[in-house]
Chain A
Amino acid sequence: MSNLLEIKNIVKKYGDYTALNDVSINIPKGSVYGLLGPNGAGKTSLIRIINQITMPDSGSILLDGETLASKHTADIGYLPEERGLYKSMKVGEQALYLAQLKGLSKSEAKKRLKYWFEKFDISAWWGKKIEELSKGMAQKVQFIVTVMHNPKLLIFDEPFSGFDPINAQLIAQEILKLRDEGATIIFSIHRMESVEEMCDEIALIDKSNKILDGNLNDIKREFRTNTYQVGLTTSNKKEVELALQENFSVLPPDFKLLGDELTVNVKLDKTKSANDLLSFLTTRGQVQHFVELIPSANDIFIEAVNKNS
C-alpha cells in the first residue's frame, strides 16, 4: 500500500518552545489514521502544518508524491478542533462560499451541497442563519462543508467533541463511508473507544516527539503481555489457586463473572503456552472463561506515555 502522506523530519519551534521535534509519519492511502497524544503534545501543530496554516521550521511533507503546495488545499478537508461558522451568514450562502474557497465552481458546489443537504435531510435550513440553528444542527453543516469537495485527505481534530451520541454515530458512519470511497482519514482524538472502533493505523505523539507508530494490530501484538483471564468452576478454589501459583505467575483478576468461580489473571512466561495453561485447568475443574488480555489502545497510550516521561 502506497502512502498518501509522507511527513519527514518535521521540526516546529515557537520561540524557545519546541512544538514538534523531528517527527516523521507515513500515512497509507485509504487508511483511517489515529493521531494520539495528551493535550499539548503537538498534534494540532502537526495538523496545522499539514493544512499549510503554519510552516515547519524544517522537514518536508509529500502529498501523493508531490511536495505540499498551496494548490493542495483543495485536496484536503479539515475539521479543526476550534471550529465554527459565520453566525449571521445564511447556511446555504456560507456553504457555497466555503466550497468556492476550496476551489469548486459555484454550480458544482451547488450540486454537491444539494446532495449532502438531502442526505442529511436538512434542505429546509438553506436560508436560515447559523445563529438560528441549534449546536447539533450547526455541527452537521460544519461536517458537510468539510467533506463536500471530495478531498483525498480528510483531517478531523477531535471530531466527536460537541456532537451528541446520535450525531456522533451518524458522522462516524459517514466518515467510514468516505474512506470506502477512497479518502484517507486522519483523526486526532482523545476518545480511545473511537480509536479501537475506527483506526487502522496510529501514531502516538508525546511531548513534541513521536514515540510510537504503525498498524494498530501490530502495536497491540507488540504490547501484548501473554496474560489470560481465567474463570474456573471448582469445588476446591483455594487448592487450585495455590497450584496455579506454583506453576504460573498469577495476578489478581481484572474482571468479574456471574457465578462463584475462581477468577484470576495468569501471565505466561516464554516457556509456557496457552495450551499448557488450558490443560492444567481442565484437569482441575470446569473452564468457564478463558480470554487473552489484549491491550486496549488506552492501555498502550498510558503505558507508552508513562514510559516516555
Chain B
Amino acid sequence: MSKLKLIIEREFIAKVRNKSFIVMTFLSPLIMVGMGALVYFLMKKNDEKIKTIVYVDESKLFSKDDFKDTKTIHYKDFTTDGIVATKKKVEEGNYYGALYIPKKDSLEILANSIEFYSKDSPGLSVMNSIENKIERKLRNEKLNNFGIDLEKINASRIQSDIKMFNFSGEESSKLINGLKIGVGAIAGYFLMMFVMIYGTSVMRSVIEEKTSRIIEVIVSSVKPFQLMLGKIIGNASAGLLQFIVWGILISVLGLVLTTILGVDMSEIQTANMTPEQLEATKQAASGDKMQLILQEIARLPLLKLFILFIFYFLGGYMLYSSLFAAVGAAVDNETDTQQFMLPIMLPLILGVYVGFATVISDPHGPISVAFSYIPLTSPIVMLMRVPFGVSWGELAISMSLLVITFVFMVWLAAKIYRVGILMYGKKPTYKDLYKWMKYKG
C-alpha cells in the first residue's frame, strides 16, 4: 500500500510541477475572466453610443410620452419639418434614422404603413424597441376605441404559476426545472471535460515511461497494476487541485473585476429585454419570489446529488482513464494512439449529446433511461437525470452496472497494460491486444 502512496505522490508532483500545468492553472481563469470583462466592456462601449431617431408623425396619434428616451436611443419630434427634409438630414448623417408615421384612415392600415429610413441597416434590438412602442400605442388606442378602461386592464393582469409535484413528495416548478437542467448539464459536461483532459494525461504519462525506458525498472519493484492505479489516482488529484484553483480564482477575479468595473448584474440581464419581460422580472425579483427560489433550491436533494456526483464522477473517470492507460501502454508514441482513441471518445461524446438532446426534454423517457444504465455513458447521462429525481431502484441498477463494468475494465486494461508496457517497436493491432489479454501473469 505504501508503494501505491509513493506512486500517487510522484505522479501528482510530476504533474503539478509541469510548467504547462502551472501555466494552465493560473492563466486559464485569467483568460476566462479577462474575456468576460472584455466582452462586457465592448458591449458597454457599443451601447454608450446614443442613437438619435427622429420621427415625423402625420397621424397626430403619438406624443413625446410614447417615445421616451432610453439609455441608448433618443427620440426627436421632427413632424414640423416634414418627411422629405427629415430624410435628407438623416442622409447627411446627422441622425441615426427617420421614422415616418403617415396619416391613415384606420389603425389597422396605419400599423402596416409606418416606415423607417436609415443609412445603415438598423440593429434588431433597435427595431424591436420601436415596434414595441408602436404596437403598445396602437393597442391602447384600439382598446380606447372599444371603450375599455385601460386602468382596469392593467389592474386585471395576473400571473399563474402551476406547482408540480411528483409522488415522492418532491415539489417542482418550471423555475426549478430550469435549475435542474442547469445543474445536470454542468455536472455532465464537467465530467466529460475532466475525463478527456486527465484521461489523456494518464495516457501521456504511460507513454513517457515507455519512451524513457524506465518502465521495466519500475515494474521490477511494483506490480504493473499498482503503477497504473497510482498513475490514475495521482493525475486525478492533480486535476481536482486544478479545478479547485480555477473555481477559487474565477470567483475571486470575477468579484474583483465586477467591483472595479461596477457591473450591475441585473443590468446585463435586462439589457435585451422587452418592457413586458422587464416587468415580469421585476415582479419575480420581489422579495416573495426570491425566497421561493431559495426554498426550492434548498428543497433539491442536495446531499443525494452531491453523493451521486462524487460516485459517478469517480466511477466514470476511473473507467475511462484505465482505458486511456491501456492505450498508452499499447503504443510507443502519441501519434499511434489515434486508432484506439476513437472508440474511447465515442461513448463519451455520445453521452453528452444524448444527455443534452433527450434528458432535457424528457428526463425519464426510454432513451434517457437506457443511456443512464449503459456504463460507458451512464456517468454523464445519469448525472444529468439525477436532479429530476431518479428512484433509488434505478440508481442501484445503474450504479452496480457501472461498478461491475469498472472492475472488469480495469482488470482488462491492466492485462493490456502489463504486456504493452514491455512491448516496443511494432504498432499493435486490435488482434494483438486480444492476444495480450490471454497471456498468463
Q: Give Cα A142–Cα B223 distance, bound, in whole angstroms.
A: 20
Which residues of A sit under 8 angstroms from B418, Cβ to Cβ? 54
B residues with a Cβ closer than 8 A to A are 3, 6-7, 10, 14, 18, 208-209, 212-214, 216-224, 418, 422, 424, 435, 438-441
A87 CB contacts on chain B under 8 angstroms = 208, 212
Quick check: A98 and B217 within 8 Å, CB to CB? yes
For the residues of A in contact with B, the DSSP-based class is: loop
Q: Is A55 an interface residue (CB 8 A)?
A: yes
Q: Is the CB of A97 within 8 A of B441?
A: no
What is the CB-to-nearest-CB distance from A130 to chain B, in angstroms, rounded to a whole number? 8
Question: Which listed residue (B212, B219, B222, B424) contacts A85, Cβ 8 A?
Answer: B212
C-alpha spacing A51/B223, complex, angstroms: 11
Given A83-B214, A84-B212, A86-B214, A53 and B220 touching (CB < 8 A)? yes
Give the CA-CA distance A101 to B215 in the complex, in Å.
13
A86 with B422: in contact, given A14-B439, A15-B438, A100-B6 (CB under 8 Å)? no
The verdict on A309 contacting chain B, using a C-beta distance below 8 Å, is no
The answer to whether B422 touches A85 (Cβ under 8 A) is no
* CB nearest to A70 among chain B residues: B223
A interface residues, Cβ below 8 angstroms from B: 13-15, 48, 51-57, 70, 73, 76, 78-80, 82-89, 97-98, 100-102, 142, 145-146
CB distance from B57 to the nearest CB of A (A): 75
- With contacts A86-B212, A101-B3 taken as known, whether A51 is within 8 angstroms of B440 at the C-beta atoms is no
**Cα distance A13–B441 in the bound complex, in angstroms:** 11
Q: Determine which of B6, B220, B441 lies in contact with A51 in the assembled complex, contact meaning CB atoms within 8 Å.
A: B220
Closest-CB distance, A76 to chain B (whole angstroms) = 7
Q: B438 and A82: CB pair below 8 A?
A: no
Q: Given A57-B440, A86-B212, A86-B214, verify A97-B220 contact (CB < 8 Å).
A: no
Interface-central residue, B217, B220, B441, by most chain A CB under 10 Å: B220
Contacting A78 at CB < 8 Å: which of B3, B209, B213, B220?
Answer: B220
Interface centre among B216, B218, B223 (most CB of A within 10 A): B216
Residues of B within 8 A of A88 (CB): 14, 18
Q: How far is the CB of B241 from chain A (nearest CB, A)?
A: 19
A284 to chain B, nearest CB (A): 61
Report how far A51 CA is from B217 CA in the complex, Å. 10
| Complex interface: chain B residues within 8 A of A82 (CB) | 213, 216, 422, 424
B209 closest partner in A (C-beta): A86
Q: Could you give 26 example pairs across A and B, Cβ below 8 Å? A: A14-B439, A15-B439, A48-B422, A51-B219, A53-B220, A53-B422, A54-B418, A54-B439, A55-B441, A56-B441, A73-B221, A76-B220, A78-B217, A78-B220, A80-B213, A83-B214, A84-B212, A84-B213, A84-B217, A86-B212, A98-B217, A98-B218, A100-B6, A101-B3, A101-B7, A145-B217
Number of A-B contacts (CB under 8 A): 77
Asked whether A53 lies within 8 Å of B219 as measured between CB atoms, the reply is yes
In the assembled complex, the Cα of A52 lies from the Cα of B418 at a distance in Å of 12
Docked Cα-Cα span, A142 to B224, in Å, equals 20
Among A87, A100, A101, max chain B CB count under 10 A is at: A101
Contact B214 A85 (CB under 8 A): yes
What is the CA–CA distance of A145 and B14 in the complex, to the nearest angstrom? 19
CA distance A55 to B439 in the complex (A): 10
Residues of B within 8 A of A70 (CB): 223
Q: List residues of chain A with CB within 8 A of the CB of B209.
A: 86
A101 to B14, CA, bound (A): 16
Cα–Cα, bound, A49→B218 (Å): 15
Q: Which of B14, B216, B438, B440 contacts A83 (CB 8 A)?
A: B216
Complex alpha-carbon distance, A13 and B422, angstroms: 16
B235 → A minimal CB distance (Å) = 15
* A24 CB, nearest partner CB in chain B, Å: 19
Closest beta carbon of chain A to B424's beta carbon, Å: 7
Bound-state CA distance A87–B10 (Å) is 14
Q: A78 to B220: give the CA distance in the assembly, Å.
A: 7
Cβ–Cβ contact B6 & A80, under 8 A: no
Given A15-B438, A55-B441, the answer on whether A97 and B212 have CB atoms closer than 8 Å is no
Using Cβ atoms and an 8 Å threshold, which residues of chain A touch B212?
Answer: 84-87
Complex Cα–Cα for A82 and B224 (A):
16
Q: Is the CB of B220 within 8 A of A80?
A: yes
Complex Cα distance A82/B220, Å? 12
Beta-carbon nearest neighbor of A48 in chain B: B422
**Known contacts A80-B216, A86-B212; A55 and B440 CB within 8 A of each other:** yes
Distance in Å: Cβ of A12 to nearest Cβ of chain B = 9
CA distance A48 to B220 in the complex (A): 8
CB neighbours of A80 from chain B (8 A): 213, 216-217, 220
Cα distance A13–B438 in the bound complex, in angstroms: 11
Q: Given the complex of chains A and B, what is the CA–CA distance between A87 and B209 in angstroms?
A: 9
> What's the least CB distance linking B418 to chain A, in Å?
8
Instruction: Establish whether residues A15 and B422, one from each chain, have CB atoms under 8 Å apart when the complex forms.
Output: no
Shortest CB distance B212–A (Å): 4
Most central of B14, B217, B440 by chain A CB within 10 Å: B217
Structural contact, B10 and A97, CB atoms closer than 8 A: yes
> Chain A residues with Cβ under 8 A from B216's Cβ?
53, 78, 80, 82-83
In the complex, how many angstroms separate the beta carbon of B380 from the nearest chain A beta carbon? 34
User: Within 8 Å CB of B441, what residues of A?
Assistant: 54-57
Pairs A-B, 6 closest by C-beta atoms: A55-B441, A84-B213, A80-B216, A101-B221, A78-B220, A51-B220
A131 CB → nearest B CB, Å: 9
Please give me the residue from chain A that is nearest to B227 by CB atom. Answer: A101
The docked-state distance in angstroms from the alpha carbon of A101 to that of B208 is: 19
CA A73 to CA B213, docked complex, whole Å? 19
Given contacts A48-B422, A101-B6, A83 and B217 within 8 Å (CB-CB): yes
A56, B440: Cα distance in complex, Å: 8
Nearest residue (CB) in B for A53 is B219
Give A145 to B221 CA distance when docked, in angstroms: 12
B4 → A minimal CB distance (Å): 11
Look across to chain A and name the residue whose beta carbon is closest to the beta carbon of B224.
A53
CB distance from B214 to the nearest CB of A (A): 5
- Shortest C-beta distance, B370 to chain A (Å), equals 38
Chain B residues with Cβ below 8 Å from A54 are 418, 422, 439, 441
B221 x A83 contact (CB < 8 A) = no
Determine whether the beta carbon of A73 is less than 8 Å from that of B438: no
Determine the chain A residues whose CB is within 8 A of the CB of B224 once the complex forms: 53
Residues of B within 8 A of A145 (CB): 217
Of all chain A residues, the one with the shortest Cβ separation from B212 is A84
Distance A152 CA – B129 CA, assembled complex (angstroms): 88
For B221, the chain A residues whose CB sits under 8 A away are 73, 98, 101-102
Q: Which residues of A contact B213 (CB under 8 A)?
A: 80, 82-84
Q: B14 touching A89 by the CB < 8 A rule?
A: yes
Q: Whole-angstrom distance from the CB of A147 to the nearest CB of chain B?
A: 13
Cβ of B219 and Cβ of A101 under 8 Å apart?
no
